[in-house]
Amino acid sequence: MRKKVSNKEFYNTAAGDCSHIPRMVFSALTVAVIVLLSLSCSFDYGVKKETSTRKIPDFVLKNTAYTIERTGEHAIIFTADTLEMFDSDHSALLDTVTFIQQDDSLRVLSSGSCSTAEINTNSRDAVLTGNIEVFSPSKGILLKAEVLNWDNSTSLLTGGAEGEVSIIYEDGSKIRGIGFRGDFSLNMFEFQKILGGGLHYE
């Protein structure tokens, strides 16, 4: 006597015959095998995603000016393509920079340019970097360097112990050295070590 099984089908897979397995069941099994293989082949190579350490500015200004006020002295006006302000660091970072200092009659005392300038908003000290040029029309002096530090309280420009600075005079004289220290207002310039050049005397 045959038993009747309603609405059910039996499949013989013992011998590896999968020809009668419905397509949906076969697909599900295939996906499960792929997932298991993927999980078993996951390796940790110790490579960590790089994270940016650059601080986010509190605000950014384009094509703007920043003025360094000086007690008893004429202000220095910086103009930059981009200015980023960092309140927590008390700093302003300027990019693609020109600067100028004028007297009360707007006569230019000094002017210049550099790639970047970082200004301490409390002390008004500044670090200039990249293709720096500072020119004094009244003194006929052009200063060139890659890094210069400006001390606002003493009006001194310094180039650091190893920073190379060149002074070019309008008569063609040129001095190149390291350990630079100078004051345009006093027409005072000195080096710890002269690397080359010389002065022309009449």
pTM: 0.70
The answer to whether 80 touches 64, Cβ cutoff 8 Å, is yes
Q: How far is CA 163 from CA 118, 177, 190, 195, 197, in A?
A: 17, 8, 13, 11, 16
Topology annotation, domain 59-198: lipopolysaccharide transport protein A fold (2.60.450)
Classified as helix, coil or strand, 122 is coil
What is the domain partition of the chain in residue ranges?
A: 59-198
Could you tell me the two tokens for 164?
Answer: 């190379």
pLDDT per residue rounded down to tens, the chain (202 residues): 443 434 444 444 444 444 444 544 444 444 444 444 343 433 444 444 445 567 899 999 999 999 998 877 889 999 999 999 999 999 999 999 999 999 888 899 999 999 999 999 999 999 999 999 999 998 899 999 999 999 999 999 999 899 999 999 998 899 999 999 999 888 899 999 999 987 766 6
Classified as helix, coil or strand, 33 is helix
